[in-house]
Structure 1
Amino acid sequence: MPRSFLTDAMWAKLEPLLPPERGGMGRSRHPNRPMVEAILWRHRTGAPWRDLPEEFGPWTSVYTRFEAWTKRGVWQRILEFLRKEADLEWVMLDGTILRAHQYSAGKRGGSGTRRSDDLGVDARPRSI
């Protein structure tokens, strides 16, 4: 699949949260996975819907599916699932890996203080 973002493991978790690919009556719908890939591509790039690459199919089909799923709460359900399944271990910051810049201690040039003219501030009082 061109421009794929989702791995098979990711798709296996996501697929049960989506509506069935086959609609009720009428013609069959486009498969969900390319539609999700197209929606993710569009939101990842920030491109307008009309600039969706042709390999994803007609942009109107992708936009219609996105809007329908939004109205039905599909995206909300997906986000709730992802929030519960989040692996936040990598988000943890440890003080042993953080370093402060030398200026964070308020020292500059060894003097220990900063003059107002060093900061580009006019120290004269002003009236309104």
Structure 2
Amino acid sequence: MSDLIWLSEAQMRRIEPYFPLSHGVPRVDDRRIISGIIFVIRNGLRWRDAPADYGPPKTIYNRFIRWSRLGVFNRIFAALSAQGGKPDQLMIDATHLKAHRTAASLLKRGCSPTYRTH
């Protein structure tokens, strides 16, 4: 698969200061796991559908959950966004919002949305 995402060494150096310290057993390759997390989220995949090049899906998932709970990704995003300065524009993209499974049947039941016109 040629469309795999791999963080460069420079990118890893920028975010490594925000990684928690390893206690006891050394962690699995951070670059491989973080690249796998980015790939899964970017492509909207299930964790188990991650390419084998990134390692076991359970390892990728566990790292994502553990570091999310510790706030690691929030600190990385905050630091990277602060380096960029104030944006000229802000955009919101809602293409990844999911509707509840019953939402598709609302039109069949005659529950059509009401639209307001000013």
* TM class, shorter-length: 0.5 to 0.7
Specify whether residues 87 and 6 from structure 1 end up closer, same or farther in structure 2 by C-alpha distance, changes over 3 A only: farther
Instruction: Give the paired residue count.
Output: 87
Alignment gaps of 5+ in structure 2: 90-118
Q: Give the Cα–Cα distance (whole angstroms) in 2 for the partners of residues 80 and 87 of structure 1.
A: 11
SS of match in other structure, 1:71: helix
User: Percent of pairs identical after alignment?
Assistant: 29
Specify whether residues 72 and 14 from structure 1 end up closer, same or farther in structure 2 by C-alpha distance, changes over 3 A only: same
2:72 equivalent in structure 1:
74
For normalisation by structure 1, the TM-score amounts to 0.60
Shift of 1:79: 1.1
Stretches of 4+ moved more than 4 A in 1?
none
For normalisation by structure 2, the TM-score amounts to 0.64
The structure having more radius of gyration, on CA atoms, is: 1
Q: Give the Cα–Cα distance (whole angstroms) in 2 for the partners of residues 40 and 52 of structure 1.
A: 10
SS of match in other structure, 1:78: helix
The CA RMSD measured in Å over matched residues stands at: 2.1
Q: Give the Cα–Cα distance (whole angstroms) in 2 for the partners of residues 77 and 18 of structure 1.
A: 9
Q: Give the Cα–Cα distance (whole angstroms) in 2 for the partners of residues 59 and 83 of structure 1.
A: 28
1:54 equivalent in structure 2:
52
Q: Give the Cα–Cα distance (whole angstroms) in 1 for the partners of residues 86 and 11 of structure 2.
A: 17
Q: Give the Cα–Cα distance (whole angstroms) in 1 for the partners of residues 69 and 49 of structure 2.
A: 23
Q: Give the Cα–Cα distance (whole angstroms) in 2 for the partners of residues 12 and 71 of structure 1.
A: 22
Specify whether residues 74 and 10 from structure 1 end up closer, same or farther in structure 2 by C-alpha distance, changes over 3 A only: same
Q: 2:37, 2:64 within 8 Å by CA — same for their partners in 1?
A: yes
Alignment gaps of 5+ in structure 1: 93-128
Shift of 1:17: 1.2
Residues 11-54 of structure 1: per-residue CA shift (max 9 Å, x gap): 2111111123xx323x3320211111000001110011010111
Q: 2:6, 2:32 within 8 Å by CA — same for their partners in 1?
A: no
2:8 equivalent in structure 1:
7
